[in-house]
Homo-oligomer: A and B are copies of this chain.
């Protein structure tokens, strides 16, 4: 199977919104008036971002999901993506699974694969995704203001829990491991919530490197601080319902786990009802975990409001 057959067979779909899709030197697209474009790129490397044992279908899902999560974090509506893929060899059953997971998620979000590249090399998946946002309505990291509430979407920490289990640092009941692994391997990008928060959230980021690290990006860009109430975060893991995680491990997983692909955002107290409505409209759980301060510091508070002295580093690929 050659390079062009491979693309034709596993990745090419009829162009829809694109004027020109896969098959020319470039894809061509006519932007809509009154909208800005949002662009993001993420690269996944075997052994670093995923285990070599992951099901190809789940990997295809995740590769696009982590990119859609960045669009969600800006409140953008997914439009199209390009896929550059280095493969050790053209393995048909791998490609069938990978492309299915990838294109099923793309289809679910109306996000069109319009181009890319395939080559031989150590497994590497690089996606660039494009979304549309009405002029002036993108939600940036820099808009948080003192007094804003801080919220997170969905569940946090399960992906890290699965990783700790794979590393042999914790032993989990099979059903708990399966659930945590599913969260690690097939994250749900919060695209509908991101769009629903346009005009409501002041600042937003996606949580890929851990809650505190990604909230830290908002604080830095907005030159503000935050107080996080640990009583509100302690039950954020999806597995909490069926398994009691040791408190220290739970704190690590939830606060600095990484690979969550949830949203952390801020909104004024006056918008509390709008935030709740956005959560309901998008079918996404939202939890208030603290508030923005003018202190320039990120402070953790225990149930009695005392400052907890803890160091949680977020993930850095070259640290």
- Contact between chains at B43 and A319 (CB < 8 Å): no
Chain B, Cβ-Cβ closest to A43: B84
Chain A contacts with B in 3-37, Cβ cutoff 8 A:
3-4, 6, 19-20, 23-31, 33, 35-37
Interface residues in A82-97 (C-beta closer than 8 Å to B): 82-87, 89-90
A117 surroundings in chain B (CB, below 8 A): 41-43, 126
How many copies of this kind of chain does the complex include?
2
Q: Are B40 and A36 in contact (CB under 8 A)?
A: no
Complex contact A119–B317 (CB within 8 A): yes
User: Are B221 and A120 in touch, CB under 8 angstroms?
Assistant: no
- Give Cα distance in the complex from A102 to B139, angstroms: 30
Question: What is the bound-complex CA distance between A143 and B189, given in angstroms?
Answer: 40
**Do residues A36 and B29 form an inter-chain contact, with CB atoms below 8 A?**
yes
Nearest CB of B to A14, in Å: 15
* Interface band, chain A: 35 or more
A124 — which chain B residues lie within 8 A by C-beta? 43, 45, 86, 121-122, 124, 126
Residue ID in chain B nearest A41 by CB atoms: B82
In the complex, what residues of B have CB within 8 A of residue A40's CB? 25-27, 82, 115
Choose among A204, A205, A316 the residue with the greatest number of B CB atoms under 10 Å from its CB.
Answer: A316
A279 at interface by CB-CB < 8 Å: no
Which of B29, B35, B38, B316 meets A3, CB within 8 Å?
B316
B residues near A47, Cβ cutoff 8 Å: 121
**Which residues of chain B are near A86, meaning CB under 8 Å?**
43, 45, 124
CA distance A140 to B19 in the complex (A): 11
CA distance in complex: A1, B48 (Å): 18
Q: Which residues of B contact A33 (CB under 8 A)?
A: 33
B-chain residues with CB within 8 Å of residue A141 when the two chains form the complex: 23-25
* Chain B residues with CB under 8 A of A73: 25-26
Does the CB pair A128–B82 fall under 8 Å? Answer: yes
Binds B, one of A130-138, A231-239, A248-256: A130-138
Per-residue B-contact encoding for A94-135, CB less than 8 Å = 1, 0 else: 000000000000000000001111111110101010110101
Q: Which residues of A contact B (CB under 8 A)?
A: 1-4, 6, 19-20, 23-31, 33, 35-43, 45-49, 70-71, 73-74, 76, 80, 82-87, 89-90, 114-122, 124, 126, 128, 130-131, 133, 135, 138, 140-142, 204-206, 221, 316-319
For this complex, 12 residue pairs linking A to B, each with C-beta atoms less than 8 Å apart, are A2-B316, A3-B316, A24-B142, A25-B40, A25-B70, A25-B73, A25-B204, A25-B206, A28-B133, A29-B37, A41-B84, A41-B117
